[in-house]
Structure 1
Amino acid sequence: MKIFVLTGAGCSAESGLGTFRDKGGLWARFDPITLATPEAFARDPDEVHAFYNLRRRNLLEAEPNAAHAALAQLQAVLSQKNGGLFLCTQNVDDLHERAGAQQVTHMHGELRKARCMACEVVTPWDGDLGRLDRCPSCHNSGSLRPHVVWFGETPLSMDEIESALHSADLFVAIGTSGAVYPAAGFVSTARQAGLQTCEINLEASENAHVFEERHYGPASLTVPIWVQNILAEL
């Protein structure tokens, strides 16, 4: 069996990470919709860096939850049975990897990395990032930005994602809003390709009606149950 899993913010929310839709808390000082753009970075890089530095610190304090662990287990089992789990995430955290997942496609980039706008080299980065930091590769100062996909930019690995969608047997969306494209359109692509489709979410997403199967509740509860059911079928 080949499964394509798309995860969103709802998969990591129970790990202590804020989401764009939370009221107050982590986002109280910032408006992510206006800061997460190339234009905002060009206009006020210090404010954008401050926003992502806060998110990076929050991520370093977070821990994977049971949903991340269950998906890592499923990926390992499927790989041993000549199947596969293509794990694609909209999240910029690394909680899937920390839970043991061996292959994760980050379509929106990774928070614990920096990208140089001068030489395009991507570098692991766990500390605060600012305008005075130099690129470890080309040594330019002021050229580093968070390695995340901002609004108006093209998501990463789209050719790989498209290929994986068409070669899978089952498409599953976990913790997604169904409102952010192109990810929100993956279920329609899956249906057109003849895949079975399943939504696992805290509550119905904006495109829940497109899915054939639906499970609702906290990811840390619903995902492990779903994984155990899949394992029982193998």
Structure 2
Amino acid sequence: MTPEGLQRAARMLAGAHRVVVSSGAGMSKESGIPTFRDAMEGLWSSFDPQELATVAGFRAAPRRVWSWYAWRRERVGDARPNPGHLALVDLQAHVPRLTVVTQNVDGLHTEAGSADVVELHGNIRRVKCLDRGHPYDGPLPPYARGDEQDPPPCPLCGSPLRPDVVWFGEMLPRDAVERAWSLAERCDVLLIIGTSGTVWPAAELPLVARRHGARIIEVNPEPSELTHAADVFLQGPSGEVLPALVDAVAQARSRADRPPRDVPERARGDA
């Protein structure tokens, strides 16, 4: 991250009316949450991802899959938002509209205090039934390390409960996808954070935004598959870069002495 790049990105955000944040697994990793692949270690190292993240895998071995997600849910429950998550909450005070569109399933953006979060891949803290998708918000049995547990039945239909995340071969939630694409088409700035740019269709969001005239800022420890599309690349972990960026945005807005409502709106309508 260079001072020149930081100031340029800050000016873009300070002049924006609508900002979309596209976050990926790298941001959660800074909170101590292993990525999907990294989590396949220890007890789970001998299993294929297809066995743990598909409907077919769940039907073939419901105890194994339920226990894998119970273990991961426990890890997520112990995690806390990192300074990058908290910086995005602070950024809300400096731009008129900010929406986080995340591939992460840990719920840390909401826990940190982000007011508008679109979860493209679901949320591991939630469960629903396998056959009818009935949501369930009741108590769940704690994970007993080393033991496999039966998934509880849905109280409405008896179907086994499963994590409310998107598995391989499943469609992303329609409402989330439609809103994310609409926001990308109408934003002034799209901020990429902690994503490799290899997971589709989420990787298309910055390209959609760029085609509709938005500026693209990327924050990542290393260049990604989307760096070529970025107007500014700020290299470093989000927990270090984002607090500095938000401070620079606040200073830029102060110098301009211009409240958010006076920023001309480039896009039309609300998403």
- TM-score, structure 2 as length reference: 0.77
CA positional deviation for 1:206: 2.0
Residue aligning to 1:62? 79
In percent, how many aligned pairs have the same letter?
A: 37
Alpha-carbon displacement from aligned partner over 1:56-101 (angstroms, at most 9, x marks no partner): 00011111110010111212443xxxx1111111000011111111
Q: Structure 1: how far apart are the matches of 2:193 and 2:240? A: 12
Residue aligning to 2:158? 141
CA positional deviation for 1:119: 3.8
Q: Show the 5 A alignment for 1:25-64.
A: 25=41, 28=45, 30-32=47-49, 34-64=51-81
SS at match of 1:15: coil
CA positional deviation for 1:200: 0.6
CA positional deviation for 1:225: 1.5
1:9 matched to 2:25: yes
Bigger relative CO (Cα 8 Å, ≥ 6 apart): 2
Task: Identify which of 199, 220, 242 aligns with 1:201.
Answer: 220
Which structure: larger Rg? Answer: 2
Q: Structure 2: how far apart are the matches of 1:152 and 1:72? A: 33
Count of aligned positions? 228
Q: Show the 5 A alignment for 1:214-233.
A: 214-233=233-252
CA contact (8 A) 2:189 2:215 kept: yes
Q: Structure 1: how far apart are the matches of 2:219 and 2:82? A: 15
Q: Structure 2: how far apart are the matches of 1:86 and 1:102? A: 8
Aligned partner of 1:54: which letter? W
Task: Identify which of 225, 231, 236 aligns with 1:212.
Answer: 231
CA positional deviation for 1:18: 0.5
Change in Cα spacing, 1:123 to 1:37, as seen in structure 2 (3 Å) is: same
Aligned partner of 1:39: which letter? A
Residue aligning to 1:177? 196
Aligned partner of 1:109: which letter? G
1:164 matched to 2:180: no
CA positional deviation for 1:126: 6.6
| Structure 2, unaligned runs of 5 or more | 1-16, 143-148, 254-271
Q: Structure 2: how far apart are the matches of 1:126 and 1:100? A: 24
Task: Identify which of 100, 105, 122 aligns with 1:92.
Answer: 105
Alpha-carbon displacement from aligned partner over 1:119-149 (angstroms, at most 9, x marks no partner): 422233673485451324x1x3343111000
Higher mean C-alpha displacement, 206-215 vs 172-181: 206-215
SS at match of 2:38: coil
| Structure 1, unaligned runs of 5 or more | none
Residue aligning to 2:140? 127
CA positional deviation for 1:231: 2.8
Change in Cα spacing, 1:173 to 1:184, as seen in structure 2 (3 Å) is: same
Change in Cα spacing, 1:201 to 1:21, as seen in structure 2 (3 Å) is: farther
Q: Structure 2: how far apart are the matches of 1:125 and 1:202? A: 39
- TM-score, structure 1 as length reference: 0.88
Cα RMSD, aligned residues only = 2.2
Q: Structure 2: how far apart are the matches of 1:233 and 1:155? A: 38
CA positional deviation for 1:154: 1.5
CA contact (8 A) 2:24 2:194 kept: yes
Higher mean C-alpha displacement, 41-50 vs 17-26: 17-26
